[in-house]
Every structure is written in C-alpha cells, then in structure tokens.
Amino acid sequence: MNLIAQLQDVLGTDQVLISPEAQAHYLEDWRGRYQGRAQAVVLPQSTDDVIQIVQRCGDAGVPIVPQGGNTGLCGGATPDTSGQAVVVAMTKLNRIRSVDAINFSITAEAGATLDQLKVAAESVNRLYPLTLGAGHLSTLGGTLATNAGGLQVLRYGMTRDLCLGLEVVLPDGTLWSKLSPLRKDNTGYDLKQLFIGAEGTLGLITAATMKLMPLPAARALIWLDVADAEQAIQAHALAQTVFAGAQTAAELISPITLSLVRKHLPEAVLPAVAGDWPTGWAFMMEVSAHDAEFLQALLAAWVRACAADRMPAGSLIAADEDQAAIWAIRKGLAESQKREGISIKHDVGLPISCIPQFLSEASAALEARFPGIRIVTFGHVGDGNLHFNLSFADPAQNVALIDQSLAANAVVYEVVSRLGGSIAAEHGIGQLKPAWLAAHAPAGSIALMQQIKTALDPRGLMNPGKVLPG
C-alpha cells in the first residue's frame, strides 16, 4: 500500500484530505505570507492516530508538518512548495482530559483551543491565563510549540511557565509521556522543555498538563493618553510598585496603529469613559484582584501615586462592557494590520528601559534607508516586547519594500542586537527567521541545537526548514 492508502486505512478516508480545495485552508498561513503544498493533510483524533501517522511517514521517508490553529505568524505550520510533506492538523485531537481544581491544573489534548481551556477552567472557578487575540483558534499544542506569550505574561508568564507535563510523539513514532501535575520534580533533565518552543521540529505534542490560576473576581483597565513610549514606561514602572503583582497587562499602541484600527475595524468603539480617540500614543494597563474592595484600594493608591509624581492617572475603566470594548481594540490590531496589506513583521524583545531608545534609533535608521516608511508598532511593553511592522501606505511602494525585507530586517536587528535584545520575543522563528537566528544566536548555540535535532530526528523529517538554518 502506498502512504496515502495506509493513512486512509488508519484514519478513515474523510480524515485524509487530498484535493486542493479541501487542503487549501491548511496550506497558507494566517497572514497570507506563505503558501505551500502537501501530498495530504491528515486529521488525527487520538494519540494513537498520531503515532501511526508518524510511523507510516517515517517508513516512507516523508516529512511531517505539525499544525494547530494555523494562527502562527512566522510560517512555522506551512509546508514548503515541494508537495512532499504530510500536514498533521491537530484540531480534532481536542478533548479536555481532566481538570483538578485543588491542584490548580488541567490536562488537555493538543488541539484544544485556548478558549476551550478557559471555559473548562472557569467551570471550576479557575483561570487558564494564556490570552491571545487569536484565542478562539490557537491551540494548546501550537502555543506550547511556539512558547506563546500574549496579553497576560506580566502576571502569569509565557506558555513555558504554565506547563507542568507533556505527552509527545517523537520523530521515530514512539510515545514519550510525562503528563505530570507536579510543581516540584527535580528528576534529571527537564525533557519537556526541549519540545516547548521547538515549533514542531523535535516531535508532535499530543497533550499537556498546564497550571491554572485563581479566577480574579474584579478587573479594571487604565487607559492613558501618553506623549511617547518614554512616558508609558515611566507609568509602567510606577504601576509595578503600586500594584505589586496585581498588574496583568501593560500594552502600548502607536498613533498610526490606532488609525489602522479605526480605518479597518469600524465596529471598534472607544468607550466614552476613556475620552476621545488619542491623537498620540495610547497605553493601557489591566489590574485584577480577587476582591472588588481590594481592587478599589489599589486604584485609589494609583491615583495618589500619580498625583505625588505629577503624572496623569488616566481613565479608570471598571464596567465590564467598557473593558471588553477596549480589549476588542487591542485584540484587533493584528487583524487591522492584515487588512491594510502585507508588512515586514518584527517581534522584538528588549530591556524595558531601552524601548524608547530602540524606537527612536530604529525609526531614524529606517527613515534614512527607506524615506517615508510607515512603522506600525504596538506590543506587550510590560514584557519588553514590541511588534514593529514596516510598510508603505502606497501599494506599489509597499511591494518594492517587501522585496527589500532583508535590508529592512538588518536595520532593525542591528539596533535590537546593540541594545541587548532578542529578534524573536514570542512568535518564534518558523521559516521567517532561521537565517536571522543563525546570525544573532550566541556562539555555539546553533551547533548545540543541531546536535539535539540530530539526536531526536536524525533524518530531519519533523518540520524541515523551520527554526534551524539550512
């Protein structure tokens, strides 16, 4: 039997997509930046299905591209154009296996979406904290494979920080399972860390045990019009001391970014309590507590601290519907950028104190190299993470800019590197940045990564062309 017939035998013909129409959704990334081809897209529904797929593909020497919700922003889940790969779409392997309210943990299959995890956690009065704009699509496996960050890292950490245990099908088709719910477990190498952030290059994650948190009883947003990034990070530093751990988000949005939201998402409405749409930068912070009175005390302390420092305290937004309206604006930024057209995306990590310097130096260097360039920047400034997207408003000029992506990247990454930053803060490397990773990784890092890759996947069949160069 050929490979397709074997996969149909294992999974059933309706779970093996062969026609171009059925495959189309799986062969292009969310931004429309990458298009690939595959001999099949398969939809496993159990860990055993995944084992069978990996073994059959291994026997046939066929590369595998793992895919979750296909919301990644670096092309990691898109196959190359050779048409040889099998895409393993994990969205039907999505059961919540167990929720332990006392241990504050949840075990779920890799295709469960973030929204599914949140609902399951809330059913026992707990919080699954990982929050992204694409949470209705992004999966547990995809967020683990990219070590996703998002909007609440400041308080709860990245996906890696939330993971207690993993179940993984290795490239040779064997199962490694340690779905441990333990918080302390120093028994040799912490193997799960190898697969978190590996973007599917070392194995297919089939399930995980994740931490849950107490569900906050009260949340408030602070919406501040600020002159520039410097003022935002000063406000953030003050907030860190006043809120002492109760701050859950700190997001910066540039004026151009806000203008794109207003252009492309007319349904996005700034609530009256936040004032008029800012003409300058917007800075928003979320504070949450397990008691409404305590939250009020924190907000009062914030107003006093701002008065003492002669800083604006901003609009304090308590009503749930007003907070939801502001979060819809924040979560709509990536979508409005996408509707505006293709851009050169950067997802950089910086020491928070260096953010203003990065913005002024990178902007000046880009303007000198590409006069009139438009910089759409926003991000999780409380984590030192900026999205820094480059484009021209004029479509013809924009096409020419995209052709010069390498030159534009070099300008940006030179400044990032000089300031001790990272070229990939939370979106990963995918097929977008392997060469840049190789150029910026500390000496010896790529060789070490290659040794790990070779040890686990000697034939290089697991998500080839992603993360590592060459």
Ligand X SMILES: Cc1cc2nc3c(=O)[nH]c(=O)nc-3n(C[C@H](O)[C@H](O)[C@H](O)COP(=O)(O)OP(=O)(O)OC[C@H]3O[C@@H](n4cnc5c(N)ncnc54)[C@H](O)[C@@H]3O)c2cc1C
Under the rule (CB under 6 A), what is the footprint of ligand X?
A: 30, 65-73, 76-77, 90, 110, 132-134, 137-139, 141-143, 145-146, 148-151, 199-200, 204-205, 334-335, 426-427, 430, 463, 466
Whole-number minimum distance, CB 294 to ligand X, in Å? 28
Residue 48 C-beta: closest distance to ligand X, Å: 15
- Residue 374, beta-bridge partner list: 391
**E strand spans, 19-95:** 40-42, 64-67, 86-89
Please, what is the minimum distance in Å from the beta carbon of residue 378 to ligand X?
10
192-215 burial, b at 16+ Cβ within 10 Å, e below that, comes to: bebbbbbbbbbbbbbbbbbbbeeb
CB nearer ligand X, residue 17 or residue 366: 17
Please state the separation of Cα 67 from the chain's center in Å.
14
Please calculate the CA angle 82-85-91 and round it to the nearest 5 degrees. Answer: 135
Q: Smallest distance, Å, CB 318 to ligand X?
A: 24
Tell which residue, 249, 185, 427, has the closest CA to residue 193.
185
Q: Which residue is nearest to ligand X (CB)?
A: 142
Q: Between residues 149 and 165, which has the closer beta carbon with respect to ligand X?
A: 149
Strands 16-17 and 40-42: antiparallel
Instruction: Provide, rounded to whole angstroms, the least separation between the CB of residue 437 and ligand X.
Output: 14
Shortest distance (Å) from residue 416 CB to ligand X: 17
Task: Kindly tell me which of 327 and 370 has the beta carbon lying closer to ligand X.
Answer: 327
226: left (phi over 0), alpha (psi -120 to 50) or beta: beta
CB of 93 to ligand X, least distance (A): 8
Least CB distance from residue 308 to ligand X, whole Å? 33
Give residues with Cβ within 8 angstroms of 320, minimum separation 6: none
Tell me how far, at minimum, the Cβ of 371 lies from ligand X, in Å: 30
Contact 39, 437 (CB under 8 A): no
Rank residues 183 and 263 by Cβ distance to ligand X and give the closer one.
263
Query: E-assigned strands of 313-356?
Result: 315-317, 347-349
Tell me the pairing of strands 40-42 and 86-89: parallel
From the CB of 175, what's the least distance to ligand X, in Å?
A: 13
Closest by Cα among 428, 455, 412, 450 to 74: 428
Residue-by-residue DSSP string for 74-106: SSTTS--TTS--EEEE-TT---EEEEETTTTEE
Our CB check for ligand X shows the closer of 286 and 426 to be 426
**CB of 284 or CB of 366, closer to ligand X:** 284
Q: How far apart are CA 23 and CA 38, in angstroms?
A: 8
Q: Where are the beta strands (DSSP E) in 195-306?
A: 204-211, 213-214, 218-226, 247-253, 281-289
Closer Cβ to ligand X, 205 or 261, answer by number:
205
Q: Which is nearer to ligand X, 66 or 129 (CB)?
A: 66
Q: What does the alpha-carbon distance between residue 71 and residue 76 come to, in Å, rounded to a whole number?
A: 10
- Torsion (CA) 157, 163, 169, 175 in degrees, nearest 10: 160
Name which of 139 and 231 has its Cβ closer to ligand X.
139
CB nearer to ligand X: give 149 or 314. 149
User: Least Å distance between CB 119 and ligand X?
Assistant: 17
Q: Which is nearer to ligand X, 137 or 269 (CB)?
A: 137
Burial of residue 147 (CB within 10 Å: 0-12, 13-18, 19+) is buried
Name which of 309, 310, 315 is nearest 282 in CA terms: 315
